[in-house]
Amino acid sequence: MDQDQNAPLREDVRLLGEELGTVLRSQAGDSLYATVETIRQVAVESRSHGEMPVGKLRELLDPLDDETLLEVARAFSQFLNLANLAEQRHRERLRRRHERFPGDPDTDRGLRQVLAELKKANLDQSQVLDVLSNLSVELVLTAHPTEVTRRTLIRKYDQIADRLAELDRPDATPEERDHLRRLLREQILSAWSTDEIRRERPTPVDEAKWGFATIEQSLWQAVPQGMRDIEEELALAGLDPLPSDWVPIRFASWMGGDRDGNPNVTAAVTRQVLTLARWMAADLYLRDVENLLADLSIHRASDELLARTGPSPEPYRVLLRAVRDRLRLTREVMEARVNGAAEPDGEIYASGSQLYDELSLIDRSLRAVGLAAIADGQLKDTLRRLNCFGITLLRLDIRQESTRHTDAIDAITRFLDLGSYASWGEKVKQKFLLSELESRRPLVNGAFFESEFCTEEVREVLDTCRVIAEQGPEGLGAYVISMAKTSSDVLAVMLLQKIGGVKAPMRVVPLFETLDDLNNAFTTMSALLEIPFYRERVKGGQEVMIGYSDSAKDAGFLGAAWAQFRAQEALTGIFREHGIPLTLFHGRGGSISRGGSPTRMALLSQPPGSVAGRIRVTEQGEMIRVKYGRPSVAAYNLEQYIAATLEATLLPPAEPRPEWRAEMDRLTQASVGAYREVVQDDPALVSYLRTVTPETELSRLALGSRPARRKPGGGVETLRAIPWVFAWTQMRLMLPAWLGTGAALETGLENAPQTLRAMSDQWPFFQTVVDMLEMVLAKSDTRVALWYEERLTDDAELQRLGVELRSRLARTVAALSELTGRDSLLDNNPVMRWSIRVRDPYTDPLHLLQAELMARLRTREDDPVLESALMVTIAGIAAGMRNTG
């Protein structure tokens, strides 16, 4: 076994750097290559001495004209993207190592280790199988604007990753390796010759198509591949096999359904996205059926199948031809609907069960005549895909902000001369809503839609409900209410669906996302459960969404994390008392301040009993590509979710000790106070954000269809959580991830150091807080942040705040070091430490370039070369940080 498991990673980084250098020389000339190499060497040398080479780098960068600055930025940005490819390839390598050496402490904990732990804990196999058979993991793909890399470049990077994998083959001949090196160089050249910047902002439909592409290019292969791996692990553990088509993974999406603060997502867009998803699903299943047609030339068949096909030398092909024709027609009908054309006649697949019934008939026949081995081939993969993706490809969630629902019902009550619903108290609202939900008569007729009360915004809410009604339940997931605060917020959406004619209502999911809303979640849901009508409606299960982004923006990372923990704990308890299954929906992102953490760490840090075999999680922005962009990596991450959900269900962490809870209350009081002291109370904060960080410039980058702000103007409260995190990450201050936490740790170390260390050693929740804080602090750099400030402002008040923020960051690092007993950040994670260090000499010039470009653009607006160069630095720094926001 190779003792240095990271040597191949370093070799790949070196190889890609060499090939990029060759491309630079050939395309940009020796002069640019020499400039880039000189800048790189200065940065490497200075970093090796622990310095930020501001002076030397500025001397090198200042004389460069705008065009050269652009090319320099492109060179460093390109290297960082290639380094990410090397790391992704290394993850695939480590996955194979994990399979060969499952006990290796340097690899992640997979299903094999979890099953071994369950056996060691003397858990009955029937109990394990029962949890597995009912396991539900739903991953919700969202279009939050954190993916800065163009799809065109992603495809090229995938090809480069394929070449790296082929170069790994130990049996490759020297000639083959030379050939692969040439191909690698050609693909790096192709990437270099492609514009990195997305010039047009994507529409919601474009975002949805990006999600479909992830399924087509990766997840379509990863799901059956991952299920076969899991099946083998269960057999190795001696567990009885689960049903052959068992798939505990499902996929949903917010792309085209998330209209909260995004006026570009309309009822028409949602209808189009749902139809396009049906088209893509029919197309993918059609490819599967074509493959089955080629393979199933078998004549032996059961009487059940022959009764369907009639006598035939190839009965399976008879049935499959009919399936193929119906899929083709389904695809044609969906295409006609998208294009507004006349639909062809004939019977399409209206539900997944229709296609499943026909394919499972073939499966039963093959098994009945002794051909189970054939049934366990491609057909099994297709049945598993059908159980995972359905006939609709994924389930589309609808999300809307609570006040939009209030406004819609208020318009209706005013039209009916019942008064202003918005002004009523909570009890009056509840009484009205329940009365109308139980009434058999319609609340409004066509006259309302012609009245002045039906504004464009109100009509849009009701039109969305009409789309829900016409589409049916199979392609729809949850109706998520953002900024949910009261019981009436939930009942209002139930009534609006009734008004829209929805026969099979979407489940209504309140999203608790601010600190106050999280603290009041128990009260809100308790009030609902006191209503007999509501208890009956949700007796099969309730879903509640926990918000990470806005709660952290509101209260800071530590305060939000503890509020999320306590809310989940309280909700789990009350639904257990009522005997109603609860699914917690975690609205996580890639960054620490938005709930980002490794899968197992995230699930095992939840309150005991809160997972209970069911989990729903958002996968956002660039994390979709990182975790699911390649089939083998995606299959591994799917297994991680299943293993972690099983472990958190059957081996949950112990209840936190009373003294830990009391200490967390004290810590979060200190943390929230210190956080809000800066973010809410310091009048210089908003100006500092817009002057010293690229927050304003981010709006130039065509990242996503959603506006960066909920409302124009305003302060931090109007800024969405994603650009809030993105801006601080770009200049390495990483403020949302640590502000307030340092003050809390100082308080804890002063008053209860032994308690704090026990929490860090023994409580998974607090362990996760510490580990993620250490990771993000390792990415921060006060010297980089200072350069932005020196270049971009001479305002004394902003400089005063900058000194204060850097001082708080340094104190946070010191407090964390005192708690962990480690002199250097990430001493316990050498792979991550090396990853950050190898990137610093490439991100340093990009940071300096970015600050310089921001300064130039603020005096020379709308300069296309400067603007392009700035966008390249934003993308490059995002690649270097491995997350954006």
CB atoms within 10 A of CB 859: 7
Catalytically annotated residue among 98, 156, 209, 553: 553
Closest CA to 570 of 601, 604, 610, 531: 610
Q: Which pair of tokens denotes residue 106?
A: 């340097």
| Burial (CB count within 10 angstroms: exposed 0-12, middle 13-18, buried 19+), residue 103 | exposed
Q: Are 505 and 419 in contact (CB under 8 A)?
A: no
Tell me the residue length of the chain. 885
CB atoms within 10 A of CB 422: 14
Task: Please list, in sequence order, all residues whose beta carbon lies within 8 angstroms of the beta carbon of residue 34, skipping any fewer than 6 positions away.
Answer: none
Closest CA to 776 of 821, 825, 820: 825
CB atoms within 10 A of CB 654: 9
3-state secondary structure at position 501: coil
| Burial (CB count within 10 angstroms: exposed 0-12, middle 13-18, buried 19+), residue 31 | exposed
Q: Is 711 a catalytic residue?
A: no
Amino acid at 8: P
Question: Alpha helices of 793-829 — where are they, by DSSP H?
Answer: 796-820
Tell me how far apart the terminal alpha carbons of the chain are, to the nearest angstrom: 38
Q: Are 705 and 203 in contact (CB under 8 A)?
A: yes
**Going along 444-483, which residue ranges are E strands?**
476-482
CB atoms within 10 A of CB 293: 17
Q: Is 144 a catalytic residue?
A: yes
Burial 681-692 (b: 16+ CB within 10 A, else e): ebebbbbbbebb
Beta bridge partners of 481: 400, 510
Q: Are 744 and 667 in contact (CB under 8 A)?
A: yes
What's 844's DSSP letter?
H
Whole-Å CA distances, 309 to 293, 303, 321, 521: 15, 10, 11, 56
Beta bridge partners of 480: 399, 509
Q: Which pair of tokens denotes residue 282?
A: 């029919």
Sign of the alpha-carbon torsion through 72, 77, 80, 86:
negative
**Going along 747-866, which residue ranges are E strands?**
none
Closest CA to 144 of 741, 808, 624: 624
Q: Are 571 and 612 in contact (CB under 8 A)?
A: no
Whole-Å CA distances, 116 to 102, 128, 352, 764: 11, 12, 36, 20
Q: Which pair of tokens denotes residue 394?
A: 């994924």
Catalytically annotated residue among 144, 156, 405, 779: 144
Active site residues: 144, 553
